[in-house]
Amino acid sequence: MDSASQDINLNSPNKGVLSDFMTDVPVGPGVAPRAPAVEGLTEVEEEELRAELAKVEEEIVTLRQVLAAKERHCGELKRRLGLSTLGELKQNLSRSWHDVQVSTAYKKTQETLSQAGQKTSAALSTMGSAISRKLGDMRNSATFKSFEDRVGTIKSKVVGSRENGSDNLPSSPGSGDQPLSDHAPF
């Protein structure tokens, strides 16, 4: 068979593998070079095996041709019915996702994750309450009250100076003006 007249089979397991070096060579008695006989085989048994090999290879070629024709026919039918590859892919994905969702493993995983989420939510809620309580305790502490008073004092001096018509902050102690405080934390 002439290689130009053969159909190209894109589903061939040999696709793209040394295609320049691989050719279909018919195997038959007298065509293939003879390999030395395997020990333990008579010449008659070897001939029978070679004949069977040639027959199987011929069947494989025929089956590939039939499969290619069936695939073309299938494609033509789908085209005529308006079925697209994308539509089939969507349908397959939907079916697969449904199969996953009804599987026992998915249901167990979903249940476990749901329980873990509930426990995590409860733990974060408890932690948030504890942090709020600690911040409240800290706000009521003497140290925080002292800090809050100092910030309030600084704020009133800054806001007070602006209300008196001066937009400038109080000068530094070395400029001749009175310093803000001898015990300023900053």
> pLDDT digit string (tens) for 123-172?
999 999 999 888 888 888 888 888 888 888 888 888 876 666 555 555 55
Q: Can you give the pLDDT at residue 183?
A: 56
What DSSP letter does each residue of the chain carry, written as one string? Answer: --TTTSPP-TT-TTTTSSTTT-------TTTSPPPPPPTT--HHHHHHHHHHHHHHHHHHHHHHHHHHHHHHHHHHHHHHHT--HHHHHHHHHHHHHHHHHTSHHHHHHHHHHHHHHHHHHHHHHHHHHHHHHHHHHHHTSHHHHHHHHHHHHHHHHHHHHHHTT--SPPPPGGGSSPPS-TT---
- Select the more confidently predicted residue: 181 or 121: 121
pLDDT at 66 over 90: yes
Taking only the tens place, the pLDDT of each residue in 1-43 is: 444 444 455 555 555 444 444 455 555 555 555 565 677 889 9
Per domain, the residue ranges of the chain are 1-86, 135-164
Q: What is the pLDDT of residues 88-110, one digit of tens each?
A: 888 889 999 999 999 999 999 99
